[in-house]
């Protein structure tokens, strides 16, 4: 069984995808990490993320890079949203995500285009949303806990800029699949959001059985 969890930055999709994976005993892939790894490689190779050929040259990163804590930095996320707009970067990462989704027994993937492009055949699809201000508060708290002193206003401006870039790009924009369930986590605790997400998944699975 494949579960697709999509949504904008800091909407809670990663937390929910991990909880769903744990609940069903499925492997989980945070696809944002792949784009973050391309971003970090571009920066380390001193190439230009806005130039498609430069970003493509960074797609052959070593798997070990996926464990680098620098991937979680705000700056890496910002550059990830620049490299991820290039069609050839998305094409270079496509098969890897598709293979993960189609492994025997199933998988949970979270990202921006899982339910629309990577696994349109998914058995359950969630689109996780929250207001920009609340997402910025969460991201700001996360960064602060890691010793990052970026101001709240900058985090909010970054979230808005990324929403715009991710939604307006020509290829695989951030968009809710027509058959996805919408979960707004703005005013939900993690526990309640997880139980609502599991209830949505169960409801979708029961209609497809």
Q: Round to whole Å and give the CA distance between 60 and 37.
A: 10
| CA-closest candidate to residue 3, choices 172, 121, 168, 91 | 121
CB of 66 to ligand CDP, least distance (A): 12
Instruction: Spell out, one character per residue from 152 to 181, where the chain touches ligand CDP: x when CB under 6 A holds, - when not.
Output: ----------x---x---------------
* The total number of residues written for the chain in this structure: 209
Q: Does 41 bind ligand CDP (CB under 6 A)?
A: no
Residue 23 CB, shortest distance to ligand CDP, in Å, is 21
User: How far apart, in whole angstroms, are the C-alpha atoms of residue 34 and residue 128?
Assistant: 20
Among 2, 3, 4, 9, binds ligand CDP (CB under 6 A): 9
Q: Is 84 in the site for ligand CDP (CB under 6 A)?
A: yes
- Check if the beta carbon of residue 108 is closer than 8 Å to that of residue 27: yes
Does position 36 interact with ligand CDP (CB under 6 A)? The reply is: yes
Residue by residue, DSSP assigns 90-116 as HHHHHHHHHHHHTSTT-EEEEESSIII
Segment lying near ligand CDP (by CB under 6 A), choices 29-37, 46-54, 175-183, 186-194: 29-37
**Residue 184 Cβ, how far from ligand CDP at the closest point, in Å?**
16
**What are the backbone angles phi and psi of residue 125, rounded to the nearest 5°?**
-135, 130
* Binding positions for ligand CDP, rule: CB under 6 A: 9-10, 31-32, 35-36, 77, 80-81, 84, 111-113, 162, 166
């Amino acid at each position: 069984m494949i579960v697709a969890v999509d949504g904008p930055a800091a909407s809670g999709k990663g937390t929910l995808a991990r909880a769903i994976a744990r609940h069903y005993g499925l492997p989980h892939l945070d696809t944002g990490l792949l784009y973050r790894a391309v971003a970090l490689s571009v920066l380390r190779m001193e190439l230009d993320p806005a130039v498609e050929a430069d970003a493509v040259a960074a797609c052959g990163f070593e798997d070990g890079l996926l464990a680098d804590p620098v991937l979680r930095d705000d700056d890496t996320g910002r550059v990830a949203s620049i490299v991820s707009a290039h069609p050839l970067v998305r094409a270079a990462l496509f098969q890897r995500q598709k293979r993960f989704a189609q492994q025997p027994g199933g998988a949970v993937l979270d990202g921006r285009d899982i339910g629309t492009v990577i696994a349109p055949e998914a058995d359950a699809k969630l689109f996780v949303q929250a207001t920009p201000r609340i997402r910025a508060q969460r991201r700001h708290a996360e960064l602060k806990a890691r010793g990052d002193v970026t101001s709240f206003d900058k985090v909010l401006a970054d979230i808005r800029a990324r929403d715009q870039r991710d939604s307006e790009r020509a290829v695989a924009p951030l968009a809710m699949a027509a058959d996805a369930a919408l979960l707004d986590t703005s005013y939900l605790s993690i526990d309640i959001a997880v139980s609502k997400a599991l209830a949505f998944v169960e409801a979708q699975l029961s209609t497809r059985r």
